[in-house]
Amino acid sequence: MKIRKKIFMQIFTNSLIFCVLFVLVSVMFFQDAKQVSVSENDDVFYHGNTANKNVTLMVNVYWGEEFLDDMLKIFEKYDVKTTFFVGGTWATKNTEFLKKIASKGHEIGSHGFFHKDHSKLNYAQNVTEIKNTHNLVKELLNQEMNLFAPPSGAFNKDTILAAKNLGYKTILWSRDTIDWRDHDEQKIFDRATKISNGDFVLMHPTKCTLASLDSIIASILGQGFKIIPISANISANII
pLDDT digits (tens, 9 = 90+) for 18-59: 443 343 333 333 333 333 333 345 689 999 999 999 999 999
pLDDT (tens digit, 9 = 90+) per residue, 69-93? 999 999 999 999 999 999 999 999 9
pLDDT band at 105 (very low <50, low <70, confident <90, very high): very high
pLDDT band at 12 (very low <50, low <70, confident <90, very high): very low
| DSSP E strand boundaries for the chain | 44-45, 54-61, 83-86, 107-110, 147-148, 169-171, 175-176, 200-203, 226-227
pLDDT at 101 (0 to 100): 98
Q: What's the mean pLDDT in 199-225? A: 98
Q: What is the pTM of this model?
A: 0.81
Other Cβ atoms within 10 Å of 167 Cβ, number:
12
pLDDT (tens digit, 9 = 90+) per residue, 134-155? 999 999 999 999 999 999 999 9
| DSSP E strand boundaries for 124-208 | 147-148, 169-171, 175-176, 200-203
Longest pairwise C-alpha distance within the chain: 93
Q: Which residue has the higher pLDDT, 14 or 54?
A: 54
pLDDT band at 2 (very low <50, low <70, confident <90, very high): very low
C-alpha to C-alpha distance for 198 and 14, rounded to whole angstroms: 53
All residues at 6 or more sequence positions from 125 whose CB lies less than 8 Å from its CB, including other chains: 116, 158
pLDDT at 204 (0 to 100): 98
Q: What is the mean pLDDT of the chain?
A: 86
pLDDT exceeds 90 at position 212: yes
pLDDT at 9 (0 to 100): 52
The percentage of the chain sitting over the pLDDT mark of 70, rounded to a whole number, equals 81
Long-range CB contact pairs, 166-169, < 8 A, 24+: 166/127, 166/130, 166/131, 166/134, 168/110, 168/130, 169/43, 169/45, 169/234
pLDDT band at 171 (very low <50, low <70, confident <90, very high): very high
pLDDT at 23 (0 to 100): 34
- The domain made up of 45-233 has a fold known as TIM Barrel (3.20.20)
